[in-house]
Amino acid sequence: MSYEIVLATLLAMQPSPSNEAREVAWLGANSAVGVSRTLDGRIEIFLAGARLHSIYPKLANSLVRGTWHRSGGQSAIKATRLLLPTAGHFTQVAAFICTELLRNGADDDLPTAFGKSEALINHSVEGLTMNAEALVGLKGELLLLQALLQTAASHDATQVIASWHGWRRSTRDFALGATGVEVKTTTGPTSTHEIQGIHQVEVSAPPSVEERLLLVSVGIESTTPDNISAFTLPRIVDTILDRVRHALPPAVSDKVCTELLVHVGDYGSEHGIGYDHTTMREDPAFSQPFALQWVRGYDMDDPAVRVLRSSTLSPFVHVEPASVRFSVQLPAQVAGDTNPVTGLAAVASAVLNHSAPK
């Protein structure tokens, strides 16, 4: 099939009627390559037959293997699915990928055709998934948001949700009352974090109302599904949504939940496609279980926390403080048992108690 015919097929294709059903158009003679549109209009490419592997990590994470049941009594098929974004140009990208696979003999030998096309497919879908660093950061921030909602007493869920600013470019990841929070998440063995400017380690100057800054260090590690204390990103989002729905009237909670899901999807989207909770919850890139290693809340106004500050740079009048980037390695204990506060629930309480209305 020519590129033009495949493109015309995709342009004429309507979204599927539900998330559970698909109308698949099979291309070529032996139905090895199929295309469809999801309920929200995203293009799916189905590659039927043997399991496919990619040497490119991002492409490998974008390939989802599954068994697909067909209507009309037809036997189920095993296929690998590649889900593309809704952006308009991905219709042309999908047509190009399908045409390239067919041109390389997908009808007769799909694995070989995929191998021949793999580099071009990878190049075409670069940025298809959130990069690893952004994904780790999202997990840490949502863990804290979940804990804040579970701990909050004098704050309502609307205030807590509104305190999360990490989904966009902002001065703080959380701002609740006079407390600012920077969340730094790592998969390493220590509280070693990249600091993107002096403002991330010191209290904001007036006219900001901020009086205290906590740097929350979150350590996570990959684990297995049988770990009863494991988290997954979709499960955290579901827990947050359930908490909001129980805490707020339906009309209010629906609005708050809708806005939250948009913000979750926006997180890290400048580095790739963000996490869409509606359509990506089963994708391997987002469903990998992980476990907490630690959560530590450092009071950054404590002089015992020895990091670069504005006063450190003040003699260097030709250096722009906002441009300074550096790493910190914070100890597990700075000042007795008061700094840092340790444990997810304890850190959430520390944030909320200081910012509670007088």
| Mode of pairing for the β-strands spanning 179-186 and 212-222 | parallel
What are the strands, taking DSSP E only, across 28-112? 33-37, 43-48, 63-68, 77-83
Measured CA to CA, the distance from residue 179 to residue 81 in angstroms comes to: 45
How far is CA 254 from each of CA 83, 86, 168, 242, 286, rounded to the nearest angstrom? Answer: 27, 24, 22, 11, 24
Averaged pLDDT for residues 35-58: 88
Alpha carbon distance, N-terminus to C-terminus of the chain = 70
Asked if residue 64 lies in contact with residue 42, where contact means CB atoms within 8 angstroms, the answer is no
Predicted confidence at residue 294, as pLDDT, reads 97
**For the whole model, what pTM was predicted?**
0.73
Residues 62-94 have pLDDT tens digits of 888 888 888 877 888 899 999 886 555 788 989
Q: How many CA atoms lie within 13 A of 264 on its CB side?
A: 28
Residue spans of alpha helices (H) in 152-197:
157-162
Higher pLDDT, 358 or 350: 350
Separation of CA 199 from chain center: 24
Predicted confidence at residue 129, as pLDDT, reads 64
Predicted confidence at residue 358, as pLDDT, reads 42
Predicted confidence at residue 87, as pLDDT, reads 57
Where is average pLDDT lowest: 124-133, 253-262, 291-300?
A: 124-133
For the chain, the average pLDDT equals 89
Averaged pLDDT for residues 6-28: 89
**DSSP 8-state class, residue 226:** T
Determine how many CB atoms are found less than 10 A away from the CB of residue 237: 22
What are the strands, taking DSSP E only, across the chain? 25-27, 33-37, 43-48, 63-68, 77-83, 174-176, 179-186, 191-196, 212-222, 290-299, 325-330, 341-342
Angle, helix 110-124 to helix 90-103, in steps of 10 degrees = 150
| Mode of pairing for the β-strands spanning 174-176 and 191-196 | unpaired
b/e burial code for range 99-115 (CB count within 10 A of at least 16 → b)? bbbbebebbeebeebbe
Token digits of residue 231: 């988290």
Q: How would you classify residue 30: left for phi > 0, otherwise alpha for psi between -120 and 50, otherwise beta? A: alpha
In terms of Cα–Cα distance, which of 48, 44, 40, 64 is closest to 286? 64
The secondary structure element, H or E, covering residue 170 is none
Residues 193-218 have pLDDT tens digits of 999 999 999 999 888 999 999 999 99
b/e burial code for range 184-207 (CB count within 10 A of at least 16 → b)? bbbeeeebebebeebbbbbeeeee
Residues 158-170 have pLDDT tens digits of 999 999 999 998 8
Residues 128-158 have pLDDT tens digits of 667 778 889 999 999 999 999 999 765 689 9
CB within 8 Å of 112: residues ≥ 6 apart: 104, 105
pLDDT at residue 284 is higher than 80: no
pLDDT at residue 103 is higher than 60: yes
Predicted confidence at residue 241, as pLDDT, reads 96
**DSSP 8-state class, residue 1:** -
Separation of CA 98 from chain center: 28
Measured CA to CA, the distance from residue 53 to residue 172 in angstroms comes to: 40
CB within 8 Å of 212: residues ≥ 6 apart: 178, 179, 180, 203, 299, 301, 354
Name the percent of the chain lying above pLDDT 70: 95
Q: Nearest 10 degrees: CA dihedral of 222, 227, 229, 234?
A: 60
